Chains A and B, each alone.
Chain A
């Protein structure tokens, strides 16, 4: 129906902005090559992978109101799903991806089933506790390096299909993955399922009165989110060629939350903006001063205080102002 312009859940203008950003990202490798700044290709690849993770978190945090403080665990599971088979000389990329998604989904199902019995701060604490459980679990696995981590000697092998060792190819694998994930999230949140998830965030009591058994929908959203993040973890493992429990630490989960909030919760492209801003500011600041954490923290506080709706909200306001002026 075209007659829903006022809904905050549909704003075609920032859909256009988002697509433009994605197209610009597609041109990043040739530009970076022309400028002879290979290091930035690494930064952007990392940014794409974390964007997938942030988008998966945004699905439950932004659209579903479930503030998971243990999302880094899914990244870790995905990365270990590459590292552990590789440790046994099993390099099939398809197996890695399948394992990453399946294990992350299973972990989400078990922890979600318990966590979603709670609400608010308790939900935050319990997801964090599960995340730390995974962290310490992998620290104690001496066979796979314990807290020293595990070096992945060979990246996932997709035969002749994809050469993961070609940095540009790998970049495009991540970019296409991100585009697909964003499209999936977009379809999900606007489907009947998505309406239930958003409604449960908005007013769960009312959802019950209307006849929705909200728990099972929220759990499904949690599992989908975990599975997507597990996929991102498999990419991350390939990218860093190294996996350690540190990747699952709660501070990592906190960073993911921050990226989502910075970019704009409950928006499709917000996570991408958030991660982009986060990593670029981090790179620039750390090049300027060794005390960059302090400035970075201050900047983050200011953004939360004064930029309502994150970067996506900022862009939307900026573009609608421009239109009014015309």
Chain B
């Protein structure tokens, strides 16, 4: 059964059809990648899936429920987590506090006014665990504004994981990364492959073809093909619309 199902999604900005009749399904446990040239509407699409933006028409079903009009925080509580293309962490907090806040978000309401969180092991123990999983244990007490770009990206993943999501929406996790950082990220994502369902939007072709179970190709807001990496590689239409363009 598909964990997420998108039916005929549309979104326009003025005359630009940024999302055009997109239908898509993400199966439980798969790593589904969406690729496309710059300006294909990848981020617009993921923003609608995460609830940051509402579509003009169409439906989004998640775990059997219609979430098309659910606000972002409600989707998050249903198990939909998102990492951001542009690093979006809490710069003035420590790495550990960043992850702890993500955990806190899913431990019921936060109208708890008196007990200091710093002494709350139900927050900081699992937070440390998630940091370790993405290889950031050493940086736990560094302020987020004092670490490298690659480490920010890893922190993003840890925070998304910390909400214990059913589906992880990854918006270009390798954006702006060097070769080495990028392969470390592939390694980290590979670790969760199979156990977490992921929808990966990515520019880095090597990473996508190394990780994805299935790939959807987005061009001018529309999906022109969805298939296995091998089939996508040899798909004529994709070559012409996208891969070929890049080669030329």
Residues of A within 8 A of B (CB): 1, 3-10, 187-188, 190-196, 198-199, 202-203, 205-213, 217, 220
Contacts and interface: CB of A to CB of B under 8 A. Distances in A.
A199 B104 CA distance: 12
Nearest to B96: A4
A217 B105 CA distance: 12
Given A187-B116, A192-B104, A212 B110 contact: yes
Nearest to B104: A192
B101 A210 contact: yes
Nearest to A212: B105
B76 interface: yes
B84 interface: yes
Contacts of A213: 71, 73
Contacts of A210: 73, 76, 101-102, 105, 159, 163
Contacts of A191: 112-117
Contacts of B96: 4
Contact of A206 (B90, B92, B100): B90
Interface residues of B, number: 44
5 contacts: A191-B116, A192-B117, A196-B110, A206-B90, A213-B73
Q: Could you tell me the dominant secondary structure of chain A's interface residues?
A: helix
The 5 closest A-B pairs by CB, nearest first: A211-B76, A211-B105, A210-B105, A190-B116, A202-B90
Nearest to A200: B90
B118 interface: yes
A191 to B, nearest CB: 5
A6 B140 CA distance: 10
A6 B94 contact: yes
Contacts, number: 113
Contacts of B84: 206, 209
Contacts of B143: 6-8
Contact of B115 (A5, A8, A192): A192
Contacts of B52: 205, 208-209
B29 to A, nearest CB: 23
B97 to A, nearest CB: 6
A6 B142 contact: yes
A190 B117 CA distance: 6
A160 to B, nearest CB: 32
Contacts of B77: 211
B114 to A, nearest CB: 5
B50 interface: yes
A190 B97 CA distance: 11
Nearest to B141: A6
Contacts of B66: none
Nearest to B82: A209
B106 interface: yes
B218 interface: no
B119 A195 contact: no
Contacts of A3: 140-141
B142 to A, nearest CB: 6
Contacts of A190: 116-118
Contacts of A194: 113, 117
B106 A211 contact: yes
Contacts of B188: none
Contact of A217 (B71, B110, B116, B142): B110
Contacts of B115: 191-192
B147 to A, nearest CB: 11
Contacts of A202: 90-93
Interface in B72-92: 72-73, 76-77, 81-82, 84, 88-92
Interface string B35-63: 00000000000000010100000000000
Nearest to A203: B90
Contacts of B76: 208-211
Contacts of A220: 111
B130 interface: no
Contacts of B140: 3
Interface in B131-184: 140-143, 159, 163
B73 A211 contact: yes
A193 B110 contact: yes
A196 B143 CA distance: 17
Given A5-B141, A191-B114, A206-B90, 9 more contacts: A6-B142, A7-B97, A8-B92, A194-B113, A196-B101, A208-B76, A209-B72, A211-B105, A213-B71
Contacts of A193: 110-113
B101 A195 contact: yes
Nearest to A8: B92
Contacts of A9: 93
A190 B100 CA distance: 13
B80 to A, nearest CB: 9
A203 B96 CA distance: 16
Nearest to A10: B118
A187 B118 CA distance: 11
Nearest to A213: B73
Contacts of B72: 208-209
A191 B120 CA distance: 10
